[in-house]
A and B are shown apart, each in its own frame.
Chain A
Amino acid sequence: MPRRIGKRRATALLLTLALSMGVVACGDDDESASGGSGSTSAEAGGTEPIKTAVLLFGKANDLTWNTSMADSIERTKGDLNLDVVSQLESVTAADGARAMRQVIEQGGAELVILHASALDQATKEVAKEHPEVCFVQAFGTGTPAANTSYYVDDATGVNYLAGMAAASQSKSGTIGVVGGVDLDEIVKSVEAFEAGAKAINPNAKVLVTWVGDFEDPLKGKDAGLAQITQGADVLYAFGDGTGLGTVEAAKDKGVPLIGAWFDQYELAPDLMVTSFVSNWAPLVTQVTEKMRAEGPETCGIGTFVANLENTGTSLAPFHDFEDKIPADVKAKIEEAEAAIAAGTLDPVTGKTKA
């Protein structure tokens, strides 16, 4: 499991790099110069660097969905020899195609990662125009073209494990989940969380509140306080910016909590039991390996599903709770992790399969 200390500074540096390279790439004269420096490092690395562009759905510092990609690129670009030429934030469906053409035709990007489901249509269009470029699209629909890979995340398994850890810290047996927007995959993850909690404590009661917003810490806090009043003694902050308020509620009342999408330990060191972490490094690795082996025209790897088995999702370290989680619970979590990865346990229903 990757340590996340210093991640924000790292992403900041990545952005600076991306920005300065963007400036360099914009000038025609400088293009050859940057290509020259690239071949120098290629000799050192043994491979040509791949010019990579990342288009994000939101802000790279959201400490969740967008950070998960920015951070994964940051961690892998050295080993995979990726040259990040640009990282664009808050790219909408309306200007998606234009942004893609810009990073390809002016930035010289050879690998374009589209971390926004809304860009699916634009990607299909531009991927056809540029068969010599490799595309990676979040939540793509239909069958991907030969030069395109799709990816989705299946966070149900890791949420089942998070639910187990949460239940082990609850004395009252009541756990509160504060969700942001009730997107289908998030609702499913919450069901898995509940199933996991019940695997440790069959009588566990899970209160679920949907705020309907990813950026309303005030409601996230009040929802958490309401759950604590109603007996919850562990909270799950599953709402991005809204979740920051839920963290405040837990801090106010000294209640342990679970974080979402990245290791949120730093937000509440004494209280953070664990978090579920999204990691796109395996996706980026698989795509670049195929791209280097077969060329960009057939770099597509089909649809990549991030899950426990391929470490696309994982449970963050327990940090300060390492000693507070009973050994038998830890053993059960490991057991469940293996069973989910092996496909013998359905995390959403909590039922074992043959």
Chain B
Amino acid sequence: MSEVLTEAFLVGLLATTMRAAAPLILAAIGEAFSQTAGVINVGLEGYLLTGGFGAYLGSHYLGNAWLGAGTGMVAGAATALLAGYVMISRRADQIVTGLAIWILSIGAVGIAYRIIFSDGNALQPQRVAVDAFNEWAVPGLSSIPWIGDIAFNQVPLVYLAYLTVPLAVLLLRSRRGLKVRATGESPEALESAGGSVLRIRYLCVVATGALAGLGGAYLSIGQTDTFEEGIVGGRGFIALGVAIVGRRHPVGVLIAALVFALAESLQLWLPTAGVDVPRQLLQMLPYVVTIIALAGIFGRVRHPRAFLKPFERQA
């Protein structure tokens, strides 16, 4: 076991955990607000995918990773807006809508990818490298021993992901945060006080999409310069779990995302440390953590009173 506890191993493991948590935080933090307002985004996996593809596309045409991140956010938000229209305005079942949006995203991205990158003559996409993010060492902070290598030598999107946590805490504590909670707990009371349930739900869902789109941008152009149709790989569903296990609170989301990311990173780091763990066990790790979390080991999660319930204005 001595090889496990080397400095390089621990620093490396934690640095991997730090960045693996970033897309989960980005996808889950908006989702926490959305669920607090009574709307679950089962299609989060789809928001990440359209966001990831939107970012790849943006970076390809605009030649800049930052602009790509912007188009990724727009793509994620647009997908969420569509889901929101069906769930909020058309009052459709949220779970079914979410699954439909997820499947629609896979199909739409698959077709768009084929048409756009097929060299104009066949549905045969070419692999095109685009501008991607590079690590940016934070001046000063990155030279702190251990901490610098773990936290302050990442790509900018990782810093952005962690920045959303304190911002979300502030928002939750503000008057607007109170309105979001009221929307989920007693939408009628909010309406009679002059607020708009639909407006707040739309804002929450679209913001979830935009943030997930940024998470998707991290998946496609954050670490690599290429796009794969399977890049999301279940992270949207894990993020749903993160939002719930994290009790729909930004700090809870942060902790839950880090726990999941640690399980994922152990899978990648343990085999390099000379520890003879069966590979099947390692690959199970992230899923075991998911099941433990969802089985309510960390306590039961109370849902808002109007959770999953469409709102209809009294005439």
Q: Which of B158-166, B203-211, B226-234 contacts A (4 or more CB under 8 A)?
A: B226-234
CB distance from A311 to the nearest CB of B (A): 26
A-contact 0/1 string along B117-134, CB 8 Å cutoff: 011011111110000000
Contacting pair A230 B267 (CB below 8 A): no
- Decide if A8 is an interface residue (CB 8 Å cutoff): yes
> Known contacts A217-B228, A244-B228: does B126 contact A8 (CB below 8 Å)?
yes
CA gap between A13 and B118 in the complex, in Å:
11
Contacting pair A241 B119 (CB below 8 A): no
A interface residue numbers (CB < 8 A to B): 8-9, 11-13, 15-16, 19, 59-61, 63, 176, 182, 207-219, 221-223, 225-227, 229-230, 232, 241, 244-245, 248
Q: In the complex, which of the residues A13, A218, A219, A221 has the most CB atoms of chain B within 10 Å of its own CB atom?
A: A218
Contacting pair B226 A244 (CB below 8 A): yes
Q: In the complex, which of the residues B13, B19, B123 has the most CB atoms of chain A within 10 Å of its own CB atom?
A: B123
- 13 sample A-B contacts, Cβ–Cβ < 8 Å, listed by A number: A12-B122, A12-B126, A15-B123, A19-B122, A61-B125, A61-B127, A176-B272, A209-B268, A210-B271, A215-B233, A218-B231, A222-B268, A244-B226
CA gap between A61 and B114 in the complex, in Å:
10
Contacting pair B224 A244 (CB below 8 A): yes
CA gap between A208 and B126 in the complex, in Å:
30
A214 neighbours in B (Cβ, 8 Å): 230
B280 neighbours in A (Cβ, 8 Å): 182
A-contact 0/1 string along B83-117, CB 8 Å cutoff: 00000000000000000000000000000000000
Contacting residue for B224 out of A12, A208, A217, CB 8 A: A217
B8 neighbours in A (Cβ, 8 Å): 229-230
Contacting pair A207 B272 (CB below 8 A): yes
- Decide if B282 is an interface residue (CB 8 Å cutoff): yes
CA gap between A60 and B280 in the complex, in Å:
29
> Which A-B residue pairs are the 7 nearest by beta carbons?
A215-B230, A230-B272, A12-B124, A212-B283, A16-B122, A15-B122, A241-B228
> Known contacts A207-B271, A222-B16: does B224 contact A13 (CB below 8 Å)?
no
Contacting pair B226 A209 (CB below 8 A): no
B146 neighbours in A (Cβ, 8 Å): none
Beta-carbon nearest neighbor of A220 in chain B: B224
- Decide if B173 is an interface residue (CB 8 Å cutoff): no
CA gap between A232 and B271 in the complex, in Å:
12
Known pairs A215-B233, A216-B233 / 11 extra A-B pairs, C-beta < 8 Å: A15-B123, A61-B127, A182-B283, A207-B272, A211-B267, A215-B231, A217-B226, A217-B231, A226-B12, A227-B272, A232-B272
